Amino acid sequence: MTMKPVTETERNTSPQDCAGCGKRINDRFLLKALEMYWHEDCLKCGCCDCRLGEVGSTLFTKGNLILCRRDYLRLFGTTGYCSACSKVIPAFEMVMRARNNVYHLECFACQQCNHRFCVGDKFYLCDNKILCEYDYEERLVFASMACTPSSLAQLKRQIGGLDGPTVIEDVRKGQTPPTATPSLHPTPLHHHHHTTTPSQQPQQQQQQQTTPQLLQQGPGQTGTQTQQQQHQTQQGSQQRPMLPVFTCSSPRHLNKGTPGHLTTMLGHFRRVTRACGAFRSKINVAVAPATSLRFLGTSSRFQTPNATDVSEDSPERWPLYLDAQATTPLDPRVLDAMLPYLTHQYGNPHSRTHSYGWESERAVETARQQVADLIGADKKEIIFTSGATESNNISVKGVARFYKSKKRHVITTQTEHKCVLDSCRALENEGWEVTYLPVQKSGRISVEELEKSLRPDTALVSVMTVNNEIGVIQPIKEIGAICRAHKVFFHTDAAQAVGKIPVNVHDLNVDLMSISGHKIYGPKGIGCLYVRRRPRVRVEALMSGGGQERGMRSGTVPTPLVVGLGAACNIAQQEMEYDHAWVSKLSNMLVDSITSRTSHIIRNGDPEHSYPGCVNLSFAYVEGESLLMALKDVALSSGSACTSASLEPSYVLRAIGAEEDLAHSSIRFGLGRFTTVDEVKYTADKCVQHVNRLREMSPLWEMVQEGIDLKSIQWSQH
């Protein structure tokens, strides 16, 4: 198998044509792979459409396909042969490995009762047969019928330490087991996968031919072996061969692409496979022998296997997803981390009496540390909740009610999330005074006005880090310094910021911070709250219960969701820099493509201080709902998902001074980790097309084209 690296070359004399799209490459630098030249965005996997245009990476080719490593192994690779059924195990299928043999999950079972082993179970090898713990103990009970009380007690102490059938035979002859018990060396059983090379296949075929014979051997085996064992027992000079006890350990990871996994999660992987394989991961991938490529017109997509994929031309395919501020797709790597705790590691993390609870508790604490590392906190300061809404309620209501005997004033902004505003209104009903700070036209608050609003009885200041509708980043560090100087607690809703921009609670002088899992490619229904410990922030719990999470949030911690949140934070910490650069590139491409081809478009918010993945545009003389209905093949929104069902204009846009007609015509584009260049180009083209079409039907647009100032017209009301 030869390697075909992707190289970067400088165009010297004549320009080259892209092998993917057929267009002329006018860039100064271009990519060269398979003796052809490519645009950076045209070199893609023909199956999952992930970008392979990383300098130094390598490709797989199979027939007329260019494939990434993951799809090549999923479609054409094998792991080996099952030692039980002798059938081929496809690559990336989750298998069980024990004693240098591999098994299908359904094949690895007790040969006495057909009990399937799970991770965490123990199994015994007796007469070359795999037995579960109950069947082995049953054999031991039958053997004890001929034992004396002393030998039986000694035999029970050595369960699993001796070969079962041999002990049974010896005890019935009145012989006692040896006094020295050899130490046990458990062999781990884990999910395993590897890539099989052609040189390894003959060895595996030979192995799968001999393994069934070993499993079928009975207790007699050969006369020579039995005589040797009896001779060693009578001499007593050598220890008897001990019975190995094997413990199933936790899998390091579950691999995508198994037949069952592929069938149930195909639609999910179709939309998020760009997080896997060679996508943005600078890894070297082996290359199969290259062959000629057959293109579909000028498209950069190659022909894909029909048996394992879903046609993109199908009318029932999902729309393009550009609503990352509402939620993000689950990263497949997060799903891999969660699966063990959704299946076999189902213990309650608060159970302290058995290994199920201990394993879950370790997973929860590991996830707690991963979240803390992302924001620069201590893991003891992380409180798991159901999401950012609950975290905001605990922060606003909990702090206010705990210090209500001394403090009666809270400060927030007019552009906060709905849950913060409603929590403040609930405090107003309890007799609290709430100051709603206005924002400037850019969407940012005035730090001087905030400092003027502070009072001796101010208990809390709550300002969100990144706005969920217009993406404006508030001056959190300056606000935190002011609150720290006046000894006022500072809370920030960082659901749209954590994992996307660098956030450090100590640098920002934050006392409380809300985080949501599904905003950073994690699972829904999980979030956390950072609560500073030194100096301590006291919070009154909103729920009564078992006192979990330091008494602030009672209830059983959902281990799978917490593990998913921790994995999402860990991935975000590693890929934040690249994700931000990727989203910035897509954001500039989207805005430039739309604004350069049509007029009267306003970008809401401050582009200089905003997260690039949130682009809010107002299209004058176009109704936003009409544009959303026209863009039926693109998933967009007109504002916050929590208030998008309301027909009222966005309160955030009204707060920054946007007119009512422009507030009604706004569209929010949410770009994320899995958004591609083709999706952005398609969305921009369709958006310009439908905006021009809707404006042609608008009488207001016709009046504007004729030079009539609509503000000078006095409209009559009926």
Catalytic residues: 642
Between CA 14 and CA 19 the distance in angstroms is 15
Distances in Å between the Cα of 85 and the Cα atoms of 16, 108, 200, 341, 698 are: 54, 10, 19, 28, 70
What token pair was written down for 434? 């709430």
Between CA 424 and CA 89 the distance in angstroms is 58
| Local structure of residue 417 (DSSP, 8 states) | -
Instruction: Please say whether the beta carbons of 444 and 606 come within 8 A.
Output: yes
534 phi-psi bin (left φ>0, alpha ψ -120 to 50, beta other): beta
The CA radius of gyration of the chain, in Å to the nearest whole number, is: 32
What token pair was written down for 641? 């998902």
Task: Provide the 3-class DSSP secondary structure of residue 714.
Answer: coil
Q: Closest Cα to residue 531, out of 364, 372, 424? A: 372
Between CA 11 and CA 588 the distance in angstroms is 26
Task: Provide the 3-class DSSP secondary structure of residue 459.
Answer: strand
Q: Closest Cα to residue 437, out of 410, 476, 406? A: 410
Between CA 343 and CA 354 the distance in angstroms is 18
| Local structure of residue 635 (DSSP, 8 states) | E
Instruction: Please say whether the beta carbons of 605 and 443 come within 8 A.
Output: yes
Question: Three-state SS string across 34-45, please?
Answer: CCEEECCCCCEC
Between CA 256 and CA 630 the distance in angstroms is 36
| Local structure of residue 507 (DSSP, 8 states) | T
What token pair was written down for 91? 């690559």
Provide CB contacts within 8 A for 574, sequence distance 6+: none
Task: Provide the 3-class DSSP secondary structure of residue 7.
Answer: strand
Instruction: Please say whether the beta carbons of 154 and 147 come within 8 A.
Output: no
Sign of the C-alpha dihedral computed for residues 303, 308, 311 and 317 taken in this order: negative
Between CA 369 and CA 309 the distance in angstroms is 38
